[in-house]
Amino acid sequence: KLGDVATILPTFKDADSITRVNGRPAVAIEVSKRTGANLIDTVDAVKVAIDTLKKQWPATLDVQFLQDKSVFIKQMLNDLQNAVVTAVILVTVIILFFLGGRASIFIGIAVPFSFLVGILGLHMAGLTMNIVVLFSLILAVGMLVDDAIIVSEFAERRMSEGMKPREAYAFAASRMSGPVVAATLTRIAAFSPLLFWPGIVGQFMGYLPLTLIATLSASMVAALVFTPTLGALIGKPQPVHHESARREGFYLRTVRLAIRHPGLTLLAALILLIGVPMIYGQVGKGVEFFPDVEPDAGIVLIHARGNLSLAEKDRLVREVEARILDMDELSTIYARTGGSAQGNQDVTEDVIGQIQFEFINWQQRRPAGLVMDDVRARTADIPGIKVEVTAPSGGPPTGKPIQIQLSSEYPDALAEAAKRVAAELAKRPEVRDLDDGLPMPGIDWRLEINKAEAAKFGIGVNAVGSVVRLVTNGLKITDYRPQTSDTPVDIIVRVPEGRRTLNQIDDLAVQTAAGAVPIGNFVQRVPAHRVGIINRIDGKRVVTVTANLAEGVQTAAVQAEVKAELEKTDFGGLVNWKLTGEDEERDAASAFLANAFGAAIFLIFAVLLAQFNRLSSVALILSAIVLSTIGVFIGLIVMGQPFGIVMSGVGIIALAGVVTNNNIVLIDTYDRLRREGVPVEEAILRTCRERARPVLLTAVTAILGVLPIAFALNIDFLAREVTEGAPSTQWWIQLSTAIVFGLGFATILTLVVTPASLAFLAKIKVFFGRFRRKKAPVTGGGAPAHARSKEPSA
C-alpha cells in the first residue's frame, strides 16, 4: 500500500502570508475599487454582499471592516455640507442686516439657483459630488450674491432718492449690467486656466474651476434677470440709518485726506507691498507642497535581510505587533507577514511584513504624529530588523518627501554613489526611514548538471528537476475531483517537512536501470549572488535613495539643502542625479500655477480693456490683485502657516478674479461722473459715498463664506455642536486664509488707495497739460497761446 511508505493527508497549499487582526488569526480580503468607480458606492455594495453571506456563516465568526475609507470620506462630506450651510446662513444674515428683509429674499435666490445650475452642469459632464465640489460651493457662496448685491444696492439708493421700485430696478439692471458682466467675466477668466492643470494634482483640483465657472455664470443671470424682476414687484425703500451715515462720514474724511496727499498714500502702499513679503521671509513658516492632513491610519513596515522562512518572518512581525497591541489610541491593528506589498510604492524587497493600524477618533487622542513617534519608540530596540512608521499621504501620492534618483550605465559606480548619498543623508538628524534603494543582497543556489556523467546513467535534465521538486514545492503526480468539491485537487508528493533542507538535495537519488544513483554524482550546487529588481530609465540603471523627515520639518527647505550638497558632490561623471517625488511634483505645480496666474491676468486685462477702453483704468483695477498679496502674507504670518504651493497658489489666483470686482464698481462710477462733468475731487468723493457699501458687502460676504474653514471651525446645526481642527477643514485652511486675509486687506486698501490713485493720475494729467501748453508754439506778439486767447479779438 502507498500508505505504508508515505503519509497521505488532505492539506492546503503552502501559505505565502499570515494575517492577524488585533492579535487574533484572521483571513483578510482586500477590496480595491475600479478606476472611475465611486468609493462610497463600492464599499456599500461590499457590505451588502457580506451581510447576505453572513447568514450562512457560524455565529462565532467575527467579521470586521478595516481601513474603511468611506467612513472618513463620509465624515468629510458631512463636515463640508455643514460648512456650506454655515456659509449660506452667515451671508444671508449679513445681507439681511445691511439691506433688509425684502432685498435679502431676492438676493438670496441667487444662491440656490446658482447651486442648482452648477450641480446640474457637473452631472451633465458625468462628474459626481466630492469634497472639492463641496468646497467650491463654499467658496462660491460669498461670490454668488455679489452681482445681486450690486444691482439691488444701486436700486435701493435710487429708491431712497424718490424713484419708484419698478423704475429703480429697471434702471439698476440697465446701468449696472456692464460692471456685473465685467466682474463675472473677470472671475471666470481667473479660474479658467486651472481647467488645464495636468497631472494628479490637476485631476484633484480640476473640479474647483468647473464648479465655480458654472455657478458664477448662473449668478450673473440671477442678478440681471431675477433680482430686478422680484425687486420691481416687492421692492421698497429702506430707511436711512444714522449710525451708517456716521460711519460713512468717517470714511469720506479718510478718503479726502488720502486724495489730498496721494503720493504719500501710494508710497505707504508700496512700502507694505515690499515689506510684508520680506518680513514673511524672515519669520514665516517656509513653503510646502500640499497641506498636512491629520491621518486616520498608519503603516508599520518591517525590514529584515536574510534568507528567512515565512515562520521566521512571522516571529519578527509578532514581536513588533506585541509592542503596540496595548496602545489605547489605536482602534484596530492588522498585521500581515509576507504576501504582496499592496501597491505601496515605497515598499522595498527587504520588507518582510507590515502592520496597518487605525487611530481612534481624532478628538479623543493625541495628534497622529505623536502617536506614530510613540510607535517608533516602542519598536526601536528590536534586534535584527528596521521599523519604518508612516501615514498615508493626505494629498496626491508622491512617496517619501526625499527621493534622489541616481542613474548610470555603470552598475558599480551606481552602487557606490547610492551608498555615498545614503551615508550623507544619514548624518542629518531630521532624516527618518532611510533606504539606499540598492537590491537586497542574498545567495541563490544554482544546480549545474554534468551532462556527460548524467548520460552515463541515462538520466536527463527533466528527471533531475522532478527529484529536486520533492524537496522544494513538491512534485505534482496528477489531480482528481472529489465528490465533495467541484474543484480539481492536486496530488503532490513531497519529502517530510523536516527533510526539506538544502543538504537533502545532495542525498536525493534518481532511479536508473542500474539502480538508485545519488544526484550528487553528477550535479553540483554553486552559490551565486541573488539578482534583485533592476530598474532602468532610458536604458540606464536607476537607483532611488529615499527618506522620510521628522514631524514638523519643512520638506522644501531640506530638499534645497540636499540639492545644494548634491551639486557639490563629484560622481566622476559616471552618475547622474535628480530629485523626484514631491520635489518634482512641487516644481511642476509651481510652474503651472505661475503660468496660470499670468494667463489669468492676461484674460482679465482683455475683459477690462474691452469694458473701459482705457489703459489707466485697467491698470488701477489690476492693482487690487497686487495689493491682495499683502493680505495673503499677513494671513500666513498671523495664522502661523507655511505658504502652500497648491492651496495658497490657487488662493492667489482666486483672489485675482474676486478683488478686481471692487475696483470695477468704483472706477465705473467714477468714469460716469467725470463724463457728466463732475470735478475730480467731487467725483472721487461721490464715487466712494455711493459705492463703499456694495464694495464692503461683496467683500464681507465672500470672506464670511470661507471664514469658518480659515479658523478650522465646523458648525453642525443638527447636532448643535461646534468643533475646531477637524481633519476635513485642514485640506482648505491655506486657501481659505488666502481668501480671507487677501480679500479683506485688499478691500480696505482699495477703498483708500484707489481714490488716491485716481487723484494722483488727475494731478499728473494736469501737470503734463501745463507742460504741453508751455511748449506750445508762440504766434504774433510772442505771448503764449493760452494768454492770448483771453484777449479780445480785433
* 623 vs 604: CA distance, rounded Å: 12
Angle between helices 177-191 and 207-221 (to 10 degrees): 170
**Size of the chain in residues:** 794
Q: Does CATH number 3.40.50.300 belong to domain 17-27+294-393?
A: no
Please choose, from the candidates 701, 723, 721, the residue with its C-alpha nearest in 3D space to the C-alpha of residue 711: 723
d(CA 190, CA 660): 10
Least Cα distance to 350 among 219, 440, 416, 459 occurs for 440
Whole-angstrom CA distances from 781 to 53, 572, 647, 785, 790 are 112, 86, 70, 10, 14
What is the CATH topology of the domain spanning 71-290+586-770?
Multidrug efflux transporter AcrB transmembrane fold (1.20.1640)
As to burial, measured by CB atoms within 10 angstroms (0-12 exposed, 13-18 middle, 19+ buried), residue 769 is: exposed
Is-contact 620 214, C-beta < 8 A?
Answer: no
Name which of 182, 167, 242, 246 is nearest 216 in CA terms.
182
SS3 category, 127: coil
- Answer whether 519's CB lies under 8 Å from 253's CB: no
Q: Provide the β-strand partners of residue 548.
A: 432
The C-alpha angle with vertex 242 and arms to 238 and 246, in degrees rounded to 5, equals: 130
Q: If the chain, 794 residues long, is cut into consecutive pieces of 10 residues, what is the mean pLDDT of each piece? A: 77 85 90 82 91 87 87 82 84 78 71 84 79 84 80 81 84 85 88 87 84 88 84 68 58 87 90 91 84 87 82 92 93 86 58 92 88 91 88 71 88 89 89 80 78 80 81 82 81 80 78 78 79 78 87 82 88 87 82 91 89 84 87 91 89 86 83 86 88 83 87 82 82 90 88 89 78 59 43 34
For residue 792, what pLDDT is reported?
36
Q: How far is CA 155 from CA 173, 662, 666, 672, 690, in A?
A: 8, 18, 16, 17, 11
Bridge partners for 529 per DSSP: 443
pLDDT of residue 242: 46
d(CA 676, CA 243): 31
What is the number of alpha carbons within 13 Å of residue 569 lying toward its C-beta?
Answer: 22
Query: What pLDDT score was predicted for residue 668?
Result: 84
For residue 304, give the 3-state DSSP assignment. coil
Euclidean distance between CA atoms 535 and 781, whole angstroms? 92
Residue 261: phi and psi, rounded to 5, are -130, 60
Determine the pLDDT at residue 325: 93
**Taking Cα atoms as reference points, which of 597, 666, 638 lies closest to residue 738?**
638
The Cα 543–Cα 411 span in angstroms is 10
7: three-class secondary structure by DSSP: coil
Question: Is the torsion defined by CA of 483, 484, 488, 492 positive or negative?
Answer: negative
DSSP element (H, E) containing 294: none
Mention every residue, 6+ apart, whose C-beta is less than 8 A from residue 198.
588, 592
Domains of the chain by residue range: 17-27+294-393, 71-290+586-770, 443-529
Asked if 158 contacts 238 with a C-beta cutoff of 8 angstroms, the reply is no
Give the separation between CA 699 and CA 440, rounded to whole angstroms: 60
Contacts of 232 (CB under 8 A, 6+ apart): 165, 166, 169, 170
Cβ atoms of 669 and 691 within 8 Å: the answer is yes
Predicted pLDDT at 789: 38
Question: Which of the four CATH numbers 3.40.50.300, 2.40.30.10, 3.40.50.10110, 3.30.2090.10 does domain 443-529 have?
Answer: 3.30.2090.10
Number of neighbours of residue 74 by Cβ within 10 angstroms? 14
pTM of the model: 0.78
CA distance 612 to 619: 11
Q: Which candidate, 215, 209, 148, places its Cα nearest to that of 180?
A: 148
In this structure, the number of other CB atoms found within 10 A of the CB of residue 514 comes to 9
